Amino acid sequence: MPITLIVETVGGTFAYNPTTFDLSELGAGIETRLSFKVGQSVKIIARDRKPDPVRCRVAWTGERHDGTPATGLEFLPASTRYW
């Protein structure tokens, strides 16, 4: 599912379109070369579904089996059910 990742930094807010490789009611796995810290807050928007951003936290960072950098996002309970 195509998503837009919204990241707020000291320098401003930017949007990035990562590749989603895993998706559930609890969160999403994305391929990204961006650097995140576990616990960092981000937002995502499903480009073909809901226009409202969903709050997430970075649950893990690492690599997929082929070495591609990856990040796990956990949907926060305060957010509306995403799917």
Are 49 and 58 a contacting pair, CB within 8 Å?
no
Give the global pTM: 0.84
Asked whether residue 20 is assigned to any structural domain, the reply reads: yes
Percent above pLDDT 70 for the chain: 92
Q: Which domain holds residue 28?
A: 3-75
Across residues 4-19, what is the average pLDDT? 90
Partner residues linked to 14 by β-bridges:
7
Task: Please check whether residue 73 is in contact with residue 60, taking contact to mean a CB–CB distance below 8 angstroms.
Answer: no
* Residue 36 within any structural domain of the chain: yes
Q: Is residue 55 part of a domain?
A: yes
pLDDT over 90 (residue 81): no
Look at the chain and report how many structural domains it folds into.
Answer: 1
The CATH number of residue 30's host domain is: 2.40.10
The pLDDT tens digits of the residues spanning 30-64 come to 999 888 999 999 999 887 776 788 899 999 999 99
Question: Which of 51 and 22 is assigned the larger pLDDT?
Answer: 22
* 51 is a domain residue: yes
